[in-house]
Amino acid sequence: MKQKHSVPVQIRFNDIDLMGHVYNAKYQEFFDLARLNYFKTVLGELISWTHKGLIIASVKVDYLQPTFLEDEIHVETSVSSLGEKSLEMTQAVYKNHNPEPVAICKSVMVCFDMKARVSEPIPEVWRKKFTDFEPGLGVNQSVG
């Protein structure tokens, strides 16, 4: 059974814009926090960003509803597609226990050797941990 990876996020006063809702750029910080937590949970450790890591190649965010200071939010994260050198993540922000998301993010991340500065295949040990955490996740060669 596929597990849900969910991270609660505290909205702070400095996340709010002049309109009284969460500023759109803050959502990327929420997605980053949840993404790192996902990797730590699924891979069992923090990625060594000085040796091999995953870098963002593409990000698309759809903002569906405003979020306000008093809202309680959480971010759900999953790998939606796994390629040879890259993966696609889908993340969604939910507020106040509502089943409809307020924002959805799709990002493509590329496995990258930080020292050689080249992309490389996703390590088999990572690939196995992703597919163990998310049964049914298949390899999509078009992702990378």
Q: Is residue 141 part of a domain?
A: no
pLDDT given for residue 47 in this prediction: 75
pLDDT given for residue 141 in this prediction: 47
Q: Is residue 138 part of a domain?
A: no
Q: Is residue 143 part of a domain?
A: no
pLDDT given for residue 45 in this prediction: 78
How many CB atoms are located within 10 Å of the residue 131 CB? 15
Give me the number of domains the chain comprises: 1
DSSP string for residues in 20-67:
SBB-HHHHHHHHHHHHHHHHHHHHSS---TTTEEEEEEEEEEEE-S--
pTM for the model stands at: 0.90
pLDDT given for residue 48 in this prediction: 74
Map residue 5 onto helix, strand or coil. strand
pLDDT given for residue 68 in this prediction: 97
pLDDT given for residue 29 in this prediction: 97
Supply the range of the domain harboring residue 107: 5-133
pLDDT tens across the length of the chain (144 residues): 456 899 999 999 999 999 999 999 999 999 999 999 999 999 987 777 788 889 999 999 999 999 999 999 999 999 999 999 999 999 999 999 999 999 999 999 999 998 899 999 999 999 999 999 998 886 664 444
Q: Is residue 140 part of a domain?
A: no
pLDDT given for residue 2 in this prediction: 58
Write the CATH number for 22.
Answer: 3.10.129.10
Q: Is residue 129 part of a domain?
A: yes
Half-sphere exposure of 87 (CA within 13 A, CB side): 25
Query: In the chain, what's the furthest Cα-to-Cα distance?
Result: 47
Q: Is residue 144 part of a domain?
A: no
DSSP string for residues in 60-119:
EEEE-S--BTT--EEEEEEEEEE-SSEEEEEEEEEETT-SS-SEEEEEEEEEEETTTTEE
pLDDT given for residue 137 in this prediction: 83
Q: Is residue 139 part of a domain?
A: no
